[in-house]
Structure 1
């Protein structure tokens, strides 16, 4: 397409000089976008301008190029910017494939059509993955659903401009925004796939057993830790379907920690005690121990052991649980009591054993005496009985 233009040599006592000429289709914020700077035409346009003539050539034309194209000149005059009152309208037509899904059994019918006015008879060519198929009419029936092939049609004699290919959804791209998922934040899962016709999307939780959303995006306004897990997205069109999955790992600050003491209760001077701290967190938390009133860290790790404990070890100890999301503290009180010296315990134990032995010896002697006395008293009783009998006689 081309444009011819004229302009005055001089205007308002200013000699007119053409500073720029270009073609455009867009005006953004009042600025006319040169086609050479338009991403939609990058590397596809060429100007041929001489004096008051300028032509535009577009390469690799597609239906999306069906637009009105206008020409603009910019001069050195403050008000010397002009656009042609009418542009050039371009209509691009190419063959299109219509996809229809048949049932009983499931098959796919492809129909080739074009808006171009062609003289009959019209003959068609079908291409499978870029290679010509034997079919030559405008209908092609595929015996299977979810095919992995790409199909195009063309008007015979114009095989160099085939229709856009139709195909089932190809590799699915899944994304999680933001990439680091923190509990309480807004999180969006996005599913996209290269497919023609355009695919529809469905989201599932777990092993494709719970439908969550029939949309390209799955959004959590305030995600929770229980939302962690595998999410599946299925992309489907009339040519077939494809499924992919993404893992959602929700990060959260440490929960309120629990702390325990072993052994429990009061701790005797000279013995040992172990304090244990635990908390649920993602990522895993770090543990540090402090004693109330002291700035220096006492220990790190889930367990803190004090050996040969003394009275000065009494007091409140607290455990700080922290990950990059947040932190939490909890405390435990340790009470130290005085114990008995080992020498005293040994003496008391020896005295108890001695007393027990004396009691046992005394008991045995008493038992022997009782038995002996019983044996000596038997003859006396017999004599007394005999004397009683003689008197009676």
Structure 2
């Protein structure tokens, strides 16, 4: 059975027929061989393995393997930076989680392990074929009766329930990807679709009758930024008639409330694009001095004399995080420092490391642009981290006592 996690973007696959290939005590078991899931979602590649003897020294996932060389560990691929979580171990579990999926992540993923024994290398085939797709509304039919199809480039794995939105308002749910539409007077209406449990990964809105209709398109659906920084959340909108009002609101409020009138955002919110009685264009929300309690989903709405954009249409999810240095053992006498956040920062930032308050500035070493730094475990120095262009928002320092504490 395939069980979608409710209210989650994670696909969980379990109790499936496993594929086990192996010889002489080697085997890799993939819970499923093929997965089709949504762009922007998260997927777990469940996997287990056995080996005949020795100690596992290295585990890795890969998608390509050139002749005569070891395959590239996806954990070292910048394309997957901040998006891979290896949930396995060096005993029998090899589960891999990939977050914020992109269409170019579509590939066949295979697991490989290396032990300390001579010839102790093994890769599990055939692997897991992952297909990543977006949603798109396709319109077919005649002038009076049309069929709207929530289209994907592959058949979604979890037999989803489809959700339909008309003018940004929740309209219908069905296990069928098709929606029957009869022509009426709503010639200015737009339609979009989503999958239940993944509502923030909706399709673009389309006009069913002609090229002109009311619609809202969000520039980004998820943003993760630093506490204390400033964020721009933007969308573009088209109103069939001139608007009488337009504003951003938090989706967790009972009724839509303009953020510029919310006391919790006093002097921290502005709309640089605001113009009254305009019927299309960009509309940006700027929030300054961000706080962790600002983490929420933000939506845009506009009104005309006889129309209001629906409040159930998904918006942009903002996550606000601080920085924290976490310490874990590495090789003997060393510790790995990780500049940790509660979400994956947007736009793949460059990390900056400080030793005793002084910036480690060695551009020839890639480790100083990464969120990971390896140091001597018994160093008397202190370390902290920051993100480039936000140097004033650095983490608390980790001192020698904390490094020594983790040395056992």
TM-score by length of 1: 0.30
Larger RCO (CA under 8 A, 6+ residues apart): 2
Tell me which structure has the larger Cα radius of gyration: 1
Larger proportion of helix: 1
TM-score by length of 2: 0.29
